[in-house]
Structure 1
């Protein structure tokens, strides 16, 4: 039914309006006790063999929702009833901001992809912290918080933005993510350079400790797929040196040349759409995201928690991320195109692949390709 609904209704709406409508329906389902119980029973069956421990957290499974869908923590329960094992909210900035002018979100259905240049539209870290503080969860899932800098903040003052948000949000976050990889905030990706990233991450670590006294909140950094291999290695080495907890690979890509559609062919969507500025996500990102993940695992092994995201559409995609070194996997664009049964299908397929594998559990499968020289 969802493909029919998408084709006949959602696809006819502007992409951002369709997102708001779908998200409102998800939140409504979570607000009605009988409906949410029935929906969770159908959409979020649990598989004992998929239970995962990562970042000091226990989760029903390894599959979560990437940042960007719920920027302000409005719908965590609704997303949990759909079966996501963790939900990453944000990106949240120190001050509220409207984001870039619309239109700023574009569908590429032929490629099962999106282009966005949203520009961190969000209500600001003070409002999001207050919402998380007052939340009374119906479904208990870890909520990660992804933080970034405001568009109007000069690069030289970016650290202050991250510090402000970390202090406000740390006590409410299962983990924190420093986003230095969105292509839609001027100068943000420049912060990925190791010499600039070191003082930023050091300051955020201290701010998180101040914001959540007595508890060490796991801290991760999210990187772009467009980094050169040497820069990926430098970030990996820096993360180890600073004692970070993990790396998320990857954010969206600004690349268009060389990007391949879901069947390995050149992008099939309207050239006018593919030429839109912004980050490309979905199936065309899968190969590069997986390659970055493999390189990271080859560099850090099991010393950091790696999170694989980018072009994850199916259980097989998620399984390949795990074999490549990801302890956790996230989806977003696949959810947009595949609908409310997305997580159910991924969980069912992952459980089947694990049972058919030589591994006794998911933890043993993490990085197995690298360990076995595959």
Structure 2
């Protein structure tokens, strides 16, 4: 058991007695104060992936939202993640929505948030990334637009300019439900215009940086088809499915009526079905990252079978801690060996048609 895992087990009762955002802040502070941790990433050859010009030691990543300001990417890589995504980062600092804005739904193993892209801004995050430049590891940056921006598309281009020289990849986040009007950028015409601006900025970088697109789970099939058609033109290198949902499956927590995006176990069925549908619509030609409701090795495996080449988790860590990383990776490797598959890529999308119609 890692030092961080032991710390989580000891501190969990205390942290869960606090409001969710305070507990999260204390977790970040504790991780930032740890000594340099040994690299515990599982390097099973079955789990290695080469995608988008990047070599992933394993397919499990940390989703954005945990480390908004790039304070602890190396501490999280040391927990065994194959990659870490920081952010969401906007060009200018912003406070986000009023507190309380983050809620644990303990009985549902879920989280509702209405954070509103609270972050310290591009300059602060860039300084931290510069400070870790020679440490290795895949660290992506999730970029967004300031709430009061007159030209939100310009904010995304600005994010490319800030982090193109500093990130392993960039994710264009147009699917947060907590910035009014942001999801409108997922419509076909708006998305074409946005990606034109993003790619114009990318062309000015000294290297071809992978650009990923993160979409909502609440899209209709025609809307998914539009995005699949746009992304098929090479405007992005991968699609992340999905962000949090505004829908509300049956929930049991006292916080079930809070507004905001729902993540965790209740999101699994919807996000996995949308993942499979996108895999079918895109013909499996574009790498997909499966996010939403992964809580163990079996749910991670189902994301792979639905069409994901890579995975991201966050909410489940609130309830299970960093031991979850090793549990998932060992479980994926075991399932590959049981099926006599020689690489994770052989399993990608094997049940996408079935799951898409579930």
Q: Which residue of 2 aligns with 1:306?
A: 288
Measured in 2, the distance between the counterparts of 1:45 and 1:308 equals 19
CA deviation after TM superposition for structure 1 residue 206, in Å: 1.4
Instruction: Please state how far the C-alpha of 1:372 moved relative to its aligned partner.
Output: 9.3
SS in 1 for 2:200: helix
Matched residue, 1:64: 61
Secondary structure of the residue aligned to 2:107 is helix
Q: Kindly provide the CA deviation profile for residues 317-350 of structure 1, in whole angstroms up to 9, marking residues without a partner as x.
A: 1111111111101001011111021101111111
What is the match of residue 262 of structure 1? Answer: none
Q: Distance in 1 between matches of 2:266 and 2:325?
A: 20
Pick aligned residue for 1:14 from 11, 15, 19: 19
Instruction: Provide the alpha-carbon RMSD of the alignment.
Output: 1.8
- Which residue is equivalent to 2:222? 230
Q: Does 1:287 align with 2:287?
A: no
Shift of 1:177: 0.9
Give the whole-Å Cα distance in 2 for the aligned partners of 1:371 and 1:114: 29
Asked if 1:160 is matched to 2:165, the reply is: no
Greater CA drift, 169-178 or 279-288: 169-178
Normalized against structure 1, the TM-score is what? 0.90
Query: 2:277, 2:352 within 8 Å by CA — same for their partners in 1?
Result: no
SS of equivalent residue, structure 1 residue 304: coil
User: Deviations for 1:146-189, whole angstroms, at most 9, x for unmatched residues?
Assistant: 111101124xx111111111111111111111111000101101
Aligned length in residues: 351
Distance 1:146 1:226, change over 3 A: same
> 2:76 matched to 1:79?
yes
Displacement, 1:4?
5.5
Q: Deviations over 1:182-240 (max 9, x none)?
A: 00101101111011111101111111222x22x11111110001111110111111111
Query: 1:20-169, aligned counterparts within 5 Å?
Result: 20-29=25-34, 32-33=35-36, 36-37=37-38, 40-41=39-40, 44-138=41-135, 140-154=136-150, 157-169=151-163
User: What's the counterpart of residue 252 of structure 2?
Assistant: 268
Q: Any residues of structure 2 matched to 1:197-208 within 5 Å, and which?
A: 197-208=191-202
8 Å contact kept, 1:2–1:339:
no
Distance 2:262 2:11 in 1: 20
**Cα gap change, 1:158/1:3 in structure 2, threshold over 3 Å: closer, same or farther?**
closer
1:334 matched residue in structure 2: 316
- Contact 2:173-2:214 within 8 A present in 1 as well: yes
Which of the two has greater helix per residue? 1
Given the alignment, which residue of 213, 224, 232 partners 1:221?
Answer: 213
| Pairwise CA distance, 1:371 | 7.7
Q: Distance in 1 between matches of 2:355 and 2:20?
A: 43
Does the 8 Å CA contact 1:209/1:217 hold for their aligned counterparts? no
Distance in structure 1 (CA, Å) of the matches to 2:139 and 2:213 = 16
Deviations 1:65-119 (A, max 9, x none): 1111111111111000111100011111111111111111000000000000111
**SS of residue in 2 equivalent to 1:225:** coil
Structure 2: which 5+ runs fail to align?
A: 1-5
Residue 229 of structure 2 aligns to a residue in which SS? helix
1:297 correspondence with 2:291: no
Give the drift of 1:280: 0.4
Displacement of 1:134: 2.5
d(CA) in 2 for partners of 1:223, 1:204: 16
2-side partners of 1:134 and 1:209: how far apart? 25
Structure 1 runs not aligned, ≥5 long:
260-265
